[in-house]
Amino acid sequence: MDTALGPPEKMVERREDLTPMMAQYYDLCAQYDDSLVLFQVGDFYEAFCGAAETVARQCEVTLTKREDSTGQYAMAGLPIDNAESYVERLLEAGYRVAVADQVEDPEETTGVVERAVTRILTPGTLTEDELLDGDRNNYVGALATGDVHALAVLDVSTGDFYATSVENADGIRDELGRFDPTEAILGPNVAATQLPDGCTVSSFGEDPFEEKQAHELVESYVGSVEGLLASTAEIRACGALLSYAEYVRGGVDDRLDYLNHLTRYDPHEYMLLDAVAVRSLELFERRTVHGDESNTLAAVLDKTASAPGRRTLDDWLRRPLIEREAIVERHDAVGELRDSVSMREGIYDQLRTVYDIERLISRIARGRANARDLRSLKATLDVVPRIRQELAESSCGKLNSLRDELDTLDEVRTLIEQSVCDNPDKEITTGGIIKPSYNDDLARLRETEQDGKSWIDDLEASERERTGIDSLKVGQNSVHGYYIEVTDTNLDSVPDDYERRQTLKNAERYYTPELKEREGEILRAEQRADELEYELFCSVRTEVADESERIQAVADSLAELDVLVSFATVAAEHDYTRPVVGTAPSDSPAEGTLTVDGIHIENGRHPVVERTEESFVPNGTMLDSDDQIAVVTGPNMSGKSTYMRQVALIVILAQAGSFVPAESARLQIVDRLFTRVGASDDIAGGRSTFMMEMTELADILDHATDQSLVLLDEVGRGTSTVDGFAIAQAVTEQMHDEIGALTLFATHHHDLTGIAESLDNAHNRYFRTQQDEDGVSFEHAVERGTADASYGVEVAATAGVNQSVVDRAREVLDEQAGRAETEPSEHHGTAGRTSLNGHSGSTTTEPKQQPLHGADDEEPTDDGNGKRLNADLQQALIEADIATMTPLEAMNKLANLQQVVETNRRNTDPNPSNSS
Ligand SMILES: Nc1ncnc2c1ncn2[C@@H]1O[C@H](COP(=O)(O)OP(=O)(O)OP(=O)(O)O)[C@@H](O)[C@H]1O
């Protein structure tokens, strides 16, 4: 066992001799032996022995010692006021942290202070604002298997709770990809391999997954599971998850009543968007080495005003809809909000003032909220009537139903308004949180306190008059209470009824019997009033918590409205258009249902790239049952990847309910979206092997349907040219003949363009490229047909390769072109200058690897007229498979050639100084 966990070895043999406090520590470590125990001692959380060493190392705090009659123990302390940042480091290091707080007042205890674990902090169950990203859900998941594979996920900080099940383990991986939980617990026979990267597996045993126990627990939270959950595996996953959520409460008041809203969904109700697609389309995180969140789809669409809105936006993008009516409802709402600027801005202005209502209600229900939280809830609920007002003029069904669902919760708002102070204290035990007017007893006690304080306020003046001492002062301190202070020079005038309380350097402090009595009255009234305020506050908090279901419903509606307003704002500001969505004809739709065959986009734009490029070139897309596959060619940097991703993002946006960046769009509803991007494009994710590429391809071939959209970028690039081409061809044929998915296939294999010509429902698209005396430039415009040249040499010239190599390369190309005119060419569909692809038209022969003289060990020699060198260069250039090279490989190749020319020049130049 990790030395930071369990009872310290050093204490085991001395257990019976330990001091009472250390015995308490020992017992808590034994009870929570899977967690690192942080043990409150006054203002610090302490750890001892091995745990202390871990805390000191991970949190970079000083390791000290504690010595008592039983020995010496290593000790490390974290200041309670600042504990969160340290705890974060322990969680990142993979520890669960059990926080053992003092649960009684040390001043009221004679023996050792009672301590108990009040919460166990784990990565997926955090509720502390300081440890959470306000805009993101933080999910913990539970997986169970049975007849089906079930997944339950829960965000303890917001109460978002989902369950689903699928037939195979791959499907579970996809669903996990949608929620991206930070932590998971696994039922019997479930492998951790399904979990996304970065998800911590926590051990929790098998008992909580036991059916009967799980069933009872789930029903105690959400009522009958009949008709809600679809399998026993789902019940077991939900039950285990609830019991884990209770467990991390540390066993103190462990019910979490607000977790009463469980959503069971069928994965087939949403577009299937697996983790690979989410990553490669950069929906939430850019595929940079460290991943960053700017310039992602979620970021450019985020005009939300509130944290719940931001989280809901993520959810909608992760789970685009496939039911036409639901999609159209959202589009209707976005349309109305886009057109009505005053309604849109009015709602936005209201939403900007709201607090994170989901996290507020979770804190309130867990009994962790303070009075400020209740005021924040009230301020948030106050916007509801105003938003209803803003929506009064709405004429669309979705906005109307959202308005009707917005419960104004008048009694909750009135309760908080009447009871909780307008600017309450943060502390809840020291008064200043409940209005005296809320309770007669409280009012009386505060009056007594106030009367007493007024009497004392007047005391200074009356005593000065009585004693004739002008410098006499009345004051108070925490140790001695109220006093009358007289300087030494006036001691003669002190009356007899003054009793000495404290001697200072130049003064004496006194009290009178009446002052003492008044002071007692004030203190008693104040103390009782503070206690009463705390009691009243707790009961108000409980009353509010009892309404958590209604409050959560309001939170959901506000979040939904926030996303719709955000979509509408983006649509208005960035000229998005409303897409027409229809069911695919192959779905056998009911009569009257609008069907759309394929994806038809006029002047579409990439929603993210259009924001970063100075001038973005819009492009159209036409895929349907007659033009089901498009093979997209074009040189590096021409815009192929951007184009393919743009089509996918437009489809996702439309099905999430947003308008789309295009002049017009008619879109068939897509059931699944698959992406396979080039192997070398994904190095940051550590998934650069050909094996990984093929695993993803296998997944697509197994699961794509005739209603799916498939993006294949450079499939087969990770292996030899011949194998890669063979795989690409076979995949294209299967997509065409058997699967029937709408497919965009970007490739450098120009030969694949011939295949597209030979298949009935496939066509070619290529990116136009301009060449002039300044070099090659990319127009980023896609057209039907195939590219007329590869422009590899021009790209090299533009990249700065020196002129003599570029000129020579052009010569070689011209010679090639001359040969091509006299020999029959097998290259498919190319016109004008031929491709530099050395195996043009040949699909079966492996290109020969001719060693280049001078590049390896053999020195080039001059035969007097440079013919040998020319032949070598020619051969090398012909062999170079420019169409499949990355820009870096092309540049290396050219640098290599350049070096050969340089070496040759040096060897043949009679004056070596010329060759530098
Ligand atoms: N339609 C467009 N309008 C303006 N700029 C674009 C457009 N499409 C792509 N670009 C820009 O061109 C560059 C290359 O785009 P992209 O990566 O899509 O090319 P590619 O053909 O896929 O390249 P490679 O084959 O090397 O992967 C990017 O910087 C992108 O921002």
Q: CA–CA separation, 856 vs 892, rounded Å?
A: 14
Pocket-testing residue among 642, 650, 677, 885, ligand 1, by greatest number of atoms within 8 A of Cβ = 642
Pocket lining: 768 vs ligand 1, CB cutoff 6 Å: no
Give the mean pLDDT of 659-663: 97
At residue 405, the pLDDT reads 93
Query: Which residue owns the Cα nearest ligand 1 atom 25?
Result: 636
81 lies in the same domain as 186: no
Atom of ligand 1 nearest to the CA of 619: 1
Asked if 179 and 164 touch (Cβ cutoff 8 Å), the reply is no
478 lies in the same domain as 534: yes
173 lies in the same domain as 72: no
594 lies in the same domain as 555: no
Atom of ligand 1 nearest to the CA of 778: 12
DSSP string, 246-301: HHTTTTSS---TT---EEE--GGGB-EE-HHHHHHTTSSS--SSS--STTSHHHHH
Pocket lining: 617 vs ligand 1, CB cutoff 6 Å: yes
DSSP E strands in 721-774: the ranges are 742-746, 762-772
Pocket lining: 780 vs ligand 1, CB cutoff 6 Å: yes
751 lies in the same domain as 828: no
148 sits in the region (left: phi over 0; alpha: psi -120 to 50; else beta) called: beta
What are the tens digits of pLDDT across the range 7-35?
A: 888 888 888 888 999 999 999 999 998 89
* End position of a domain, from candidates 222, 250, 269: 269
Pocket lining: 769 vs ligand 1, CB cutoff 6 Å: no
In angstroms and rounded to an integer, the radius of gyration of the C-alpha atoms of the chain is: 37
Q: CA–CA separation, 215 vs 232, rounded Å?
A: 8
At residue 913, the pLDDT reads 43
- The alpha carbon of 847 and the centre of ligand 1 are apart by a number of angstroms equal to 29
Assess if residue 796 is contained within a domain: no
Residue 78 one-letter amino acid: L
Give the mean pLDDT of 308-314: 94
Q: CA–CA separation, 144 vs 235, rounded Å?
A: 9
> Residue 577: helix, strand or coil by DSSP?
strand
* End position of a domain, from candidates 757, 784, 811: 784
Lowest mean pLDDT of 11-15, 222-226, 370-374, 841-845, name the range.
841-845
The token pair that represents 791 in the structure block: 């422009």
Higher pLDDT, 284 or 792: 284
Assess if residue 302 is contained within a domain: no
- The alpha carbon of 690 and the centre of ligand 1 are apart by a number of angstroms equal to 24
Atom of ligand 1 nearest to the CA of 767: 21
At residue 482, the pLDDT reads 92
Of 188, 162, 157, 187, residue with least CA distance to 176: 162
Query: Which residue owns the Cα nearest ligand 1 atom 5?
Result: 616
Strand partners, 243: none
Residues 6 or more apart whose Cβ sits within 8 Å of residue 226: none
- The alpha carbon of 631 and the centre of ligand 1 are apart by a number of angstroms equal to 16
Q: Give the number of other CB atoms < 10 A from CB of residue 901.
A: 18
Give the mean pLDDT of 747-769: 83
pLDDT at residue 688 greater than cutoff 70: no
What are the tens digits of pLDDT across the range 242-268?
A: 999 999 887 656 678 888 889 999 888
Pocket lining: 677 vs ligand 1, CB cutoff 6 Å: no
According to the 3-state scheme, what is the secondary structure of 646-686? HHHHHHHHHHHCCCECCCEEEEECCCEEEEECCHHHHHHHC
- The alpha carbon of 780 and the centre of ligand 1 are apart by a number of angstroms equal to 7
DSSP state of 736: I
pLDDT at residue 417 greater than cutoff 80: yes
The token pair that represents 685 in the structure block: 């994710």
Pocket-testing residue among 601, 609, 682, 769, ligand 1, by greatest number of atoms within 8 A of Cβ = 609
pLDDT band at 884 (very low <50, low <70, confident <90, very high): low
Based on the structure, what is the number of domains in the chain?
Answer: 6
Assign residue 102 the CATH number of its domain. Answer: 3.40.1170.10
Residue 857 one-letter amino acid: D
Pocket lining: 605 vs ligand 1, CB cutoff 6 Å: no
> Which range marks the domain in which residue 86 is found?
9-121
779 lies in the same domain as 823: no
Assess if residue 91 is contained within a domain: yes
At residue 857, the pLDDT reads 35
Asked if 729 and 753 touch (Cβ cutoff 8 Å), the reply is no
Assess if residue 493 is contained within a domain: yes
Assess if residue 298 is contained within a domain: no
ipTM of the complex, rounded to two decimals:
0.98
At residue 741, the pLDDT reads 94
What are the tens digits of pLDDT across the range 483-522?
A: 999 999 999 999 999 999 889 999 999 999 999 999 999 9
Pocket lining: 431 vs ligand 1, CB cutoff 6 Å: no
How many residues belong to the chain? 916
Assess if residue 905 is contained within a domain: yes
At residue 690, the pLDDT reads 72
Assign residue 169 the CATH number of its domain. Answer: 3.30.420.110
- The alpha carbon of 276 and the centre of ligand 1 are apart by a number of angstroms equal to 21
Residues 6 or more apart whose Cβ sits within 8 Å of residue 729: 752, 755, 843
Assess if residue 629 is contained within a domain: yes
Query: Which residue owns the Cα nearest ligand 1 atom 11?
Result: 639
Pocket lining: 638 vs ligand 1, CB cutoff 6 Å: yes
41 lies in the same domain as 68: yes
Assess if residue 852 is contained within a domain: yes
What are the tens digits of pLDDT across the range 61-109?
A: 999 999 888 888 999 999 998 888 899 899 888 889 999 999 888 877 7
- The alpha carbon of 661 and the centre of ligand 1 are apart by a number of angstroms equal to 17
At residue 720, the pLDDT reads 67
- The alpha carbon of 640 and the centre of ligand 1 are apart by a number of angstroms equal to 6
Of 849, 832, 829, residue with least CA distance to 751: 829
Pocket lining: 609 vs ligand 1, CB cutoff 6 Å: yes
Asked if 537 and 420 touch (Cβ cutoff 8 Å), the reply is yes
Assign residue 326 the CATH number of its domain. Answer: 1.10.1420.10
pTM, whole model, 2 decimals?
Answer: 0.79
Which is it for strands 762-772 and 742-746: parallel, antiparallel or unpaired?
Answer: unpaired
Relative orientation angle of helices 513-545 and 548-573, to the nearest 10 degrees:
70
193 lies in the same domain as 74: no
pLDDT band at 588 (very low <50, low <70, confident <90, very high): confident
Q: CA–CA separation, 537 vs 774, rounded Å?
A: 76
What are the tens digits of pLDDT across the range 439-470?
A: 999 999 999 999 999 999 999 999 999 999 99
Pocket lining: 519 vs ligand 1, CB cutoff 6 Å: no
* End position of a domain, from candidates 784, 819, 852: 784
pLDDT at residue 289 greater than cutoff 60: no
Give the mean pLDDT of 819-844: 36
Q: CA–CA separation, 687 vs 275, rounded Å?
A: 13
743 lies in the same domain as 659: yes
Label residues 44-57 b or e (16+ Cβ within 10 Å = b).
bbbbbbbbbbbbbe
Q: CA–CA separation, 629 vs 763, rounded Å?
A: 6
617 lies in the same domain as 747: yes
Query: Which residue owns the Cα nearest ligand 1 atom 4?
Result: 616
665 lies in the same domain as 709: yes
Asked if 354 and 305 touch (Cβ cutoff 8 Å), the reply is yes
Residue 622: Cβ-neighbour burial (10 angstroms; 0-12, 13-18, 19+): middle
Residues 6 or more apart whose Cβ sits within 8 Å of residue 396: 332, 333, 335, 336
Higher pLDDT, 533 or 881: 533
Pocket lining: 362 vs ligand 1, CB cutoff 6 Å: no
Give the mean pLDDT of 338-360: 94
Assign residue 776 the CATH number of its domain. Answer: 3.40.50.300
- What's the mean per-residue pLDDT of the chain? 85
Cα diameter, the chain = 131
Q: CA–CA separation, 628 vs 347, rounded Å?
A: 43
Which residue is associated with the tokens 């944290």?
307
473 lies in the same domain as 592: no
Q: CA–CA separation, 902 vs 911, rounded Å?
A: 14
DSSP string, 102-134: E-S-GGG-SSSPPEEEEEEE-TTS---GGGS-T
Which is it for strands 97-102 and 71-79: parallel, antiparallel or unpaired?
Answer: unpaired
pLDDT at residue 907 greater than cutoff 70: no
Query: Which residue owns the Cα nearest ligand 1 atom 16?
Result: 639
Name the strand (E) or helix (H) holding 179.
Answer: helix 169-179
pLDDT at residue 679 greater than cutoff 60: no
- The alpha carbon of 604 and the centre of ligand 1 are apart by a number of angstroms equal to 14
At residue 886, the pLDDT reads 62
Please measure the distance between the N-terminal and C-terminal CA atoms of the chain and give it in whole angstroms. 66
Q: CA–CA separation, 224 vs 228, rounded Å?
A: 8
Atom of ligand 1 nearest to the CA of 678: 27
